[in-house]
Amino acid sequence: MNVQVLQHVPFEGLGSIETWLAQRSAVVHHTRFYQSAVLPDLRAVDLVIAMGGPMSVNDEREHPWLKPEKSFIREAVERGRSVLGVCLGAQMIASALGARVFANAHKEIGWFTVQAVSQEADAFHFPPQATVFHWHGETFDLLPGAVHLARSAGCENQAFQIGRNVIGLQFHLETTPESADQIIRHCRGELVAGDYIQTEQALRAAPDDAYRGINRLMNDVLAYITRFQVPANP
């Protein structure tokens, strides 16, 4: 499996996804937009993973690489590649396919519950409720034809699916204690009083079981979107 990771900042990497890919002997390449915006030929890519970041998909003037990244993601979806978007990455998929991305009524930072929505037979099924790690302030309109997978009290569109091999997640199932520490260190200025913003102490108090649970769920998502993978055509 040839994987292209779209990484927007150094402190939001693959987390537990790295282990899943290594177990499958995946060949992993990165486009690190904070260093270079060079993107590969999609004919050699099986799976695209777009990670998170503190910028907005609408910040194209400040980050001109957003436009070619959106084009790359749109082409990946059109070619039937497997695509996973995490947080900013989910918003990138939505924006690339024409949906509006905008500020949510609430920022969500912390461990909060999401509820499963879709019961369609061929859709990915989240547990009825799952406590997951959030760090986002924007949301998006659900794309026409997309399957609504999850919601929360603070944000209606938490996860969506397009076809059998594209999933966008507002929340972070890849988070490990180490990756949580990185985002807290770099973004702790966002930890202000809010209905859905936890304190740093609460964020760091999550038990190991919480991380293991979300990481297993991420493995399930990855297995689902790659099960019906359209092979690369070198």
Structural domains of the chain, count: 1
**Between the CA of residue 51 and those of 6, 123, 183, 221, 231, what are the distances in Å?**
6, 22, 13, 15, 22
pLDDT tens string for the chain (234 positions)? 999 999 999 999 999 999 999 999 999 999 999 999 999 999 999 999 999 999 999 999 999 999 999 999 999 999 999 999 999 999 999 999 999 999 999 999 999 999 999 778 889 999 999 999 999 999 999 999 999 999 999 999 999 999 999 999 999 999 999 999 999 999 999 999 999 999 999 999 999 999 999 999 999 999 999 987 666 665
Q: Chain centroid to CA 15: how far?
A: 12
Residue 168 lies in a domain: yes
Rounded to an integer, what distance in angstroms lies between the CA atom of residue 41 and that of residue 31?
12
Residue 38 lies in a domain: yes
Q: What pLDDT, on the 0 to 100 scale, is given for residue 121?
A: 82
Residue 233 lies in a domain: no
The kind and range of the H/E element at 27 are: strand 27-32
The helix/strand/coil state of 87 is: coil
Number of helices (H) and strands (E), helices first, in the chain?
6, 9
Q: What pLDDT, on the 0 to 100 scale, is given for residue 230?
A: 65
Residue 29 lies in a domain: yes
Domain that residue 219 falls in: 2-227
Residue 234 lies in a domain: no
Instruction: Give the CATH number for residue 156.
Output: 3.40.50.880
- Tell me whether strands 147-152 and 82-86 are parallel, antiparallel or unpaired: unpaired
Radius of gyration of the chain (CA): 16
- The model's pTM: 0.96
In sequence order, what are the residues at sequence separation of 6 or more whose Cβ sits closer than 8 angstroms to the Cβ of residue 175? 15, 16, 133, 211, 214, 215
